[in-house]
């Protein structure tokens, strides 16, 4: 395993998707905007579960592209809530690419931190419910 190669985390991915030709530029690298959209989707999943409803992205606190994503990569995104405030949640997202089925490799391609705010049907901020009321992966929890 080279210095850049790694393994997938030993937990369930929040989101998995394959990078397709339509997601790439002329050189075969996946557009950064496509990666950012997938990160936002993955980050919103635990936020929605914790908020028990609608959330809105209010900040991209950090976003680091470590390696390019290539057409055909299997992209695994892992999202974890790291902070819960009165109306907002901070979520860390890590992105890994599995490539080359003949000689499989895995590399960490992106990491990001985003902030989501819980919103009501009126799209105005609302309080995040207590943790014991949150639904995570179909279970009651954080």
Return the structure tokens found at 96: 């890994």
Q: Per-domain residue ranges for the chain?
A: 15-140
What is the phi/psi pair of residue 31, to 5°?
Answer: -60, 135
- The rounded distance, in Å, linking the Cα atoms of 90 and 78 is 14
Task: Give the integer Cα–Cα distance in Å for 131 and 142.
Answer: 5
CATH architecture classification, 15-140: Roll (3.10)
Residue 31 tokens, joined: 């557009």
At residue 1, the pLDDT reads: 46
pLDDT at 141 over 80: no
Percent of the chain with pLDDT over 70: 91
Q: Which of 87, 94, 15 is nearest to 58 (CA)?
A: 87
Residue 28 in contact with residue 101, Cβ under 8 Å?
Answer: no
Contact in structure between 81 and 46 (CB atoms under 8 Å): yes
pTM of the model: 0.89
Helix (H, G, I), strand (E, B) or coil at 94: strand
Residues 123-129: what's their mean pLDDT?
A: 95
pLDDT confidence bin for 138, thresholds 50/70/90: very low
Determine how many CB atoms are found less than 10 A away from the CB of residue 38.
22
Confidence band, pLDDT 50/70/90 cuts, at residue 71? very high
Per-residue pLDDT, averaged over 108-112, amounts to 97
pLDDT (mean) for 43-72: 96
């Amino acid at each position: 395993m080279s210095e850049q190669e790694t393994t997938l985390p030993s937990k369930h991915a929040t989101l998995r998707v394959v990078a397709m030709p339509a997601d790439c530029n002329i050189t075969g690298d996946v557009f950064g905007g496509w990666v950012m959209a997938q990160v936002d989707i993955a980050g919103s999943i635990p936020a929605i579960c914790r908020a028990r409803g609608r959330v809105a992205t209010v900040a991209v606190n950090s976003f680091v592209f470590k390696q390019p994503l290539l057409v055909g990569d299997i992209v695994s995104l892992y999202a974890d809530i790291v902070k819960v405030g009165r109306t907002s949640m901070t979520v860390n997202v890590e992105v890994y690419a599995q490539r080359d089925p003949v000689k499989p490799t895995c590399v960490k391609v992106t990491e990001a931190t985003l902030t989501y705010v819980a919103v009501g049907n009126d799209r105005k901020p609302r309080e995040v419910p207590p943790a014991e009321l949150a639904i995570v992966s179909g279970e009651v929890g954080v």
